[in-house]
Structure 1
Amino acid sequence: MKKILICILLFFALSPAYSNISCAFYTASDSISINAQKTNILTVFDTIQLNEVVSYGKLKKYQSGAKIEMIPDRKFDAYRDGSLEQLLSRTLPIVLKSTAGTLSTIRLRGTSPNHTSVNFGGINLNSLTLGQSNMSNVPMYLFDEVGVQFGSASTVNGSGSIGGAIHLGLRNNWTKGVKAEARISHGSFGEELYGTKIYLGNGKFESVTRAYFYKKDNNFKFTNTAVHDFEKSIFQIEDKQRNASVENKGLIQELNYKFSEEETLIFNLWLEKDWHQIQQNMQQNYYKPEQKEPYEDKHIRLWTSYKNNKKLFKYELSGGYVYDIGIDNGNTDDTIQTQRIIGEASVEHELNKKISYKIGVKASRISPTVYTYSDDLEYEDRLDFYASYFHKINRKLTATINLRQGLVTDFSVPFTPTFGFKYLVFSKENQALNINGNVAKSYRVPTFNDRFWGDQGNPDLNPEKGMNYELGFKWNYSNNETFGHIQLNTYFLNVDEWILWVNNNGWEPQNVQKVESKGLELMTAWNYLFFGLKTESGFNYSYTSTERKKSRTISDAVGRQLEYVPLHSGNFYSTINYNNTDFSVDFKYTDKQYTNEEDNNILSSYFLLNFSVGHQFKLNNKNKFKIKGMLNNILDTDYQSTFGYAMPGINYRLSLTYNIN
């Protein structure tokens, strides 16, 4: 409590010092508009739209200064047949470590997969036993939007958001009548996707059903560099990937009711079953061609929320249930299962047009059933108290404070404050410049496996702790034919008590290292006319220097770049539209990567080039369909994202979408 009071007093003490700086809070997405009533100057909008019809993924005004990116609809639609891994790696400066469609984990700003939360409503999708999400198992077809927060986000999302947070969004359209969509997609190596969406409503009540089925044989050919026959002078051979199939299916059912424009009730049920064969490395694939390791995940996720904004004190009541089970190699006796019951309540109050605050509490009870855990571990309770403060100090400067204190059964969780600001440097007729900054503390509670896995778990582990400093600039420009922005963010992230499993007369988890990540991210997006054609282009670049600064175990990698974190990475995309036809090209570059603590088995840098074309046919006002073709890895690049695991060469995907309104 003392820390909270000090933080609040410090904020108010500093506020007068900025009284000569003007500021505003903006609520639209990367667009520019003219305020003709008063000043005829451009007002720049550089956060996300606070639209009450967005059920999930809305990132609130109380995170002023945080870097939050929403994937534009056009780019999102281009990867709707694929997974979250494909969307993020090709549209944002984010690196993921992947196998050929069976497992993909994120390294946001050089942190580990455990340091980025993936959120659906008030549910963190990360496994409570493993601590991470498989990005290959998150289908984009089921969702309407994806938002990514770069940098520490624990004050808003709780444990596990040291590197950042991803938000999956559904939009409430309040449909009147019937709308439907059917989608079919076929591609190389036995890839198939079948999906449908059905919308029913009368303007107040809405039912939305989203379902999909996806499979891939993954039987692609590749050059096997792990085969060595010195007698025959054979050091590589043409091989084919075996036993790496994928089969996923899922359904989201929405039932929403709008009492009025300011009072809504939503109910969402997400059922998911993901099955894949664990991809074997090149050596195993060649010498043990019959080896199969199936793994299956099943999930039930339920989230409901009642929101009332009619009165002076706006409030929201939410609740959810999550059931996760993993079945390794078909062995149902070795149970790996968790259940969660979640409840959350928040109240928001606007003191005036410039000042508002929000307070809330979130509680969950977790019941793990894992064959190696002690029977004494029946459940764990988690309780989080949070408070947010928004202050539009003047016309140009906005500041926010977020505070969070968590309580966990038999575990100590640190207090996490965040301070952020946004400052409008100038605003002219066709351009404007914003500066934003953020200082945030973050944490991660060790996973259940870290603490309770048989005799190896360590219940005395400390939470991982992060400290994030960020400064960003965003320049927006607009004229009659061109509009867009250039954005540059720099950051410094310190993660202490980083947990690793180490071999100390047997494997066990320990708080062993301190890691520093510092870097910059350059992002651009432009819409313009090119020889009379509507064109959208963008370039993303990331410089990520992530190093161990201290290690309690002997390591040759102290002071060297961390494993699976490329120093340089980037991507470029461009789309040209002509008479309902889109032509797109994009490429991705990934720098070399270390794969262990020794200076061997280094992954080479690689460059991937992709192309797509699509055309929409409008039959009448109620019926239309779109056909799209995509050609990936046009240069047939031979590369690896995980050391020793093959990745596919050139491949295609064709899709057909039919819409009825």
Structure 2
Amino acid sequence: MSFKLRLSLLSIAIFQTFSAQAAIPANPNIETITVTGDRFDTAQEQQLAVVNTIEREEIDRLSPKSVTDLLETLPGVSVTRNGGAGQSASISMRGTNSSHVLVLVDGVRVGSATLGAVSFNALSPENIERIEVVKGPRAAIWGSDAIGGVIQIFTRKLEGGEWFASAEYGSDEYMRATAGAGISHGNGHTSISLNHEQSDGYNVKNDAEDDDDGYDRFGLSINGEQTLNQFWSLNWNGQLETGHYEYDNSRANEADYDNYLWSLGAKFENDKLTSKLALAQSQDKNENFRSDVEDYPVTLYKTTRDQINWSNKYLATSNLTFIGGIDWTKESIVGDYAVDERDIAAVYGLARYQYGQLLLEGIVRYDDVENIDSETSYSASAAYQFNDEWRLALSTGTGFQAPSFNDLYWPGTGNPDLVSETSENYDITLHYSGDNLRGYVSLYHNTIDNLIQWAPTPELDENGYEIWKPANIQSAEISVVELSLNYSTWGIEHQFGYSYVDAIDKADEQQLDGRSEHELDYAMSYSWDQLDLLLNYHYQGERKASNDFLDPYHQVDLSIGYKIADAWQVRLKANNLLDEEIISDRNYFSPGRQLFLSVSYQAF
């Protein structure tokens, strides 16, 4: 059976099931949720991309040990781990590569320009207030890296007089202490949050190095704002993540990291115009070494990004909105590279028009990447609101991923002739929002060309080993069916997510490495008096790993919280309750069953 036929049959089956379950009257009192998929706070029904959100209340209940624990609960987001919470992990969104996901923390682009990846293991979940995941053809608003989507992380915000503190202990000698407070100053406030955690870990890899791989990390986040008058306000953000982790590798087995970001912004707002200017800098620094070899050389990877963003929103009429701005980034790296810095300048514009039940949107963006060809990205979208419950959205757009410094200039093997990876994608999404049920089903197709692949060459190094070099030689075709449902019955909240991913290498029609065709998530939560309960189930289908396939697995997590007083709560969390062997990357094991107990106090 061809993929197109399988996709059609599966889509029809999902649509019929979805429609049958959705025959529930609409709730006129549904809370209006705003998201920032277009860089400004906008009602979710005005967004033409699929946006998933994770709020602080959900984070508390999930009691995650890593940011990837949170992201994995979302449909269309797949995680590959090299071990537990302190180890490296990568994100694939809707079947794209890990480098095809743009990550922003408080609006600041983060990640390594040398590796083209983000250190998710360095981020502290306890310092996060909210996560927004923007999917689909949205690269035209954000620029490079947003081929698969955008992950926006917002740190915790507290009003003056609000504060919290918590402590946790669990398996593998895990310990955590977290605290935060809000400070008022006139017509403004500043939040400060601190988190420290450590664990002895476990042996993450099946190899000759049989030892526990532990980690420790410290996180500090500061954010605040000050209203100057009815039109002007200032805002500031800062974050520091520093830590140490052990891992299994033949060359190095320990690493220290020191990552930070800061931003200063000003906002002008009146009835028609909102204008924001932000100056920011981020650093990704990682030092790798071997602890069991005296005088082993330290390998340093360090990226610094200076950023200026000017964005504007103009309400021309009640039905017509314009958004536009300028982005400038300077990337600098440390190392023996032929080129160690580059500038990226971009200008973009968006127009959105409401005509009765029809919503139209167009976006164009131009990026000039130094030493690489410029790229023009576009997005065109339309949505039709059939009634209070049903809405259909269609989108098409292009995106690109600029080569990393390693791809271009790695000493002896980089290829300075590389061009950007490019994509063309289509998305059709049916939304439903009723009284006890809301959700969507989305069909998505993405074609990616000029993918960069490292491959061996006829050349040999001084030791007689093959020299590997990168080239734009791969293309991929990815088709996705994504389903999300949230519904309530008898006081029990249910969340269901499913994704079917068909990711094919166009050269040999083989499945791309690291992707699962089927991935499913289900969460059941219930609150009664002072007690709350959350049961999470995750199914990961088999994945291709080189010439082999990794077995599918099931993971069940349980979280039980109890309020012993108005502000005090204790929580018991069990991860991998069934103690199943979980391998998401070849030879790397996730931990077995783990138990954690936490105590928290919140003065809100």
Q: Same fold (TM over 0.5)?
A: yes
Cα drift, residue 33 of structure 1: 4.9
CA contact (8 A) 2:106 2:237 kept: no
- Aligned partner of 1:360 in structure 2 is 325
State whether residues 243 and 279 of structure 1, in contact with CA within 8 Å, keep that contact through their aligned partners in structure 2: no
- Match of residue 470 from structure 2: 509
Determine the structure 2 residue equivalent to 1:162. Answer: 147
AA in 2 matched with 1:301: L
Contact 1:517 1:547 in 2 (8 A): yes
1:123-143 deviation per Cα after TM superposition (whole angstroms, max 9, x unaligned): 221211111113222221111
Residue among 10, 35, 52 paired with 1:69: 52
Specify which of 419, 425, 430 is matched with residue 473 of structure 1.
430
C-alpha deviation, 1:311, in angstroms: 5.7
Question: Separation in 1 of the partners of 2:475 and 2:204?
Answer: 41
Q: Deviations over 1:485-539 (max 9, x none)?
A: 13100000000001111111311111111100002011111133x2xxx321111
Q: How far apart, in 2, do the equivalents of 1:332 and 1:250 lie?
A: 27
**Farther-moved stretch of structure 1 (486-495 vs 150-159):** 150-159
Matches within 5 A, 1:432-447: 432-447=389-404
2:563 & 2:40 partners in 1: Cα distance?
28
Select the residue among 584, 589, 597 that pairs with 2:539. 589
Number of the residue aligned with 2:256: 296
What secondary structure sits across from 2:481 in the alignment?
A: strand
Superposition deviation, residue 74 in structure 1: 3.5
Instruction: Tell me if 1:201 matches 2:162.
Output: no
In 1, the alpha carbon distance for the partners of 2:300 and 2:122 equals 21
Which of 553, 556, 561 pairs up with 1:614?
A: 561
SS of match in other structure, 2:141: helix
Residue 562 in structure 1 maps to residue 547 in structure 2: no
The aligned residue for residue 316 of structure 1 is 276
Return the letter of the residue paired with 1:168.
Answer: I
Aligned to 1:386: 348
Kept after mapping to 2: 8 A contact 1:152/1:466: no
Displacement, 1:335? 3.6
Distance across 2 between alignment mates of 1:261 and 1:241: 62
Aligned residues of 1:265 and 1:305 also touching (Cα < 8 A): yes
Could you list the per-position Cα deviations for residues 18-37 of structure 1 after superposition, in whole angstroms to 9, with x for gaps in the alignment? xxxxxxxxxxxxx96539xx
Secondary structure of the residue that 2:509 maps to in structure 1?
coil
Against the structure 1 CA distance between its residues 81 and 658, is the aligned structure 2 distance closer, same or farther, given a 3 Å change threshold?
farther
Q: Distance in 2 between matches of 1:513 and 1:580?
A: 55
Task: Give 1:295 deviation, angstroms.
Answer: 1.3
Alignment-derived partner of residue 482 in structure 2:
521
Paired residue for 2:569?
626
Deviations 1:292-336 (A, max 9, x none): 611122112111211111264321111101222221117776442
Mapping 1:359-438, distance limit 5 Å? 359-370=324-335, 372-374=336-338, 377-394=339-356, 396-427=357-388, 432-438=389-395
What's the offset of the Cα at 1:260? 4.3
What is the CA–CA distance in structure 2 between the aligned matches of 1:571 and 1:632, rounded to whole Å?
Answer: 15
Q: CA 1:60/1:579 → structure 2, altered by over 3 Å: closer, same or farther?
A: closer
1:55 Cα deviation from its structure 2 partner: 14
CA change 1:55–1:268 in 2 (3 A) is farther
Distance 1:447 1:144, change over 3 A: same
Shift in CA distance, 203/574, structure 1 to aligned 2, threshold 3 Å: farther
Letter of the 1:297 counterpart: Y
CA-to-partner distance for each residue in 1:143-172, whole Å, 9 max, x for gaps? 110010122332122111111110002465
Task: Verify the 8 A CA contact 1:56 1:120 in the aligned structure 2.
Answer: no
User: Is 2:439 the counterpart of 1:486?
Assistant: yes
Within 2, Cα distance between the matches of 1:605 and 1:214? 31
> How is 1:117-136 mapped onto 2 (pairs within 5 angstroms)?
117-136=102-121
Following superposition of structure 1 onto structure 2, how do residues 125-274 of structure 1 map, counting pairs within 5 Å?
A: 125-170=110-155, 172=157, 175-176=159-160, 178-202=161-185, 204-219=187-202, 242-260=211-229, 262-274=231-243
Contact 1:469 1:493 (C-alpha < 8 Å) held by counterparts: yes
Q: Which piece of structure 1 moves more, 488-497 or 101-110? A: 101-110
Q: Which stretch of structure 1 is more off in the superposition, 514-523 or 650-659?
A: 650-659
Does 2:551 correspond to 1:604?
yes
1-structure distance, mates of 2:176, 2:471: 42
Cα distance in 2 for partners of 1:62, 1:34 equals 14
Change over 3 Å in CA distance of 1:91–1:50 after alignment to 2: closer
Letter in 1 for 2:438: H
| Superposed CA offset, 1:85-112 (max 9, x none) | 1011134442111022201101111111
- For residue 380 of structure 1, what is the amino acid of its counterpart? R
Name the structure 2 match of 1:233: none
Query: Does the alignment pair 1:34 with 2:3?
Result: no
Match of 1:495 in 2: 448
Q: Structure 2 vs 1, CA of residues 638 and 34 (structure 1 numbering), >3 Å: closer, same or farther?
A: closer
State the secondary structure of the residue aligned to 2:544: coil
The answer to whether the Cα contact below 8 Å between 2:289 and 2:299 also exists between their aligned partners in 1 is: no
**SS at 2:427 equivalent:** strand
Larger radius of gyration: 1
Deviation at residue 213 of structure 1 after TM alignment? 0.8
Of stretches 85-94 and 139-148 in structure 1, the one that deviates more from structure 2 is 85-94
User: Is the alpha carbon distance of 1:653 and 1:373 closer, same or farther for their aligned partners in structure 2, counting shifts above 3 Å?
Assistant: same
Show CA shifts across 1:434-492 (max 9, x none): 111111100000001111111211111010001110001112221xxxx1213100000
Aligned to 1:573: 523
Q: Note closer, same or farther for the CA distance 1:266–1:648 as it changes in structure 2 (3 Å cut).
A: same
Aligned counterpart, 2:285: 325
Alpha-carbon distance between aligned partners in 1 of 2:530 and 2:504, rounded to the nearest angstrom: 48
Q: Which amino acid aligns with 1:384?
A: A
Structure 1 partner of 2:309: 344
CA distance in 2, matches of 1:74, 1:220: 32
Name the counterpart of 1:648.
Answer: 591
- After TM superposition, the structure 1 = structure 2 runs for residues 34-53 of structure 1, keeping only pairs within 5 Å, are 34=28, 48-49=33-34
Aligned-partner SS, 2:511: coil
Instruction: Give the 3 Å change call, closer, same or farther, for CA 332–303 of structure 1 in structure 2.
Output: farther
| Residues 55 and 498 of structure 1, relative CA distance in 2, 3 Å threshold | closer
Distance 1:64 1:55 in 2: 8
Aligned length: 565
Q: Which residue of 2 is the match for residue 95 of structure 1? A: 78
Contact 2:127 2:193 in 1 (8 A): yes
Separation (CA, whole Å) in 1 of partners of 2:89 and 2:46: 28
2: CA distance between counterparts of 1:64 and 1:659? Answer: 33
Judged with a 3 Å threshold, the aligned counterparts in structure 2 of structure 1 residues 143 and 55 are, in CA distance, closer, same or farther, namely farther
Q: Residue 502 of structure 1: SS of its match in structure 2?
A: strand
Unaligned 5+ runs, structure 1: 1-30, 36-43, 228-239, 285-290, 551-557
Which 4+ runs in 1 deviate beyond 4 A?
A: 54-63, 330-334
Supply the RMSD in Å over aligned alpha carbons: 2.6
**Structure 1 residue 79 corresponds to structure 2 residue 47:** no
Structure 1 window deviating more from structure 2 (636-645 vs 131-140): it is 131-140
State whether residues 592 and 604 of structure 1, in contact with CA within 8 Å, keep that contact through their aligned partners in structure 2.
Answer: yes
Is this contact kept in 2: 1:57–1:121, CA < 8 A? Answer: no
Aligned equivalents of 2:408, 2:522: Cα separation in 1 = 42
AA in 2 matched with 1:470: D
TM-score of the two chains, using structure 1 as the length reference: 0.81
Unaligned runs of 5+ in 2: 1-24, 291-295, 459-466
**Distance in 2 (alpha carbons) for counterparts of 1:502 and 1:297:** 29
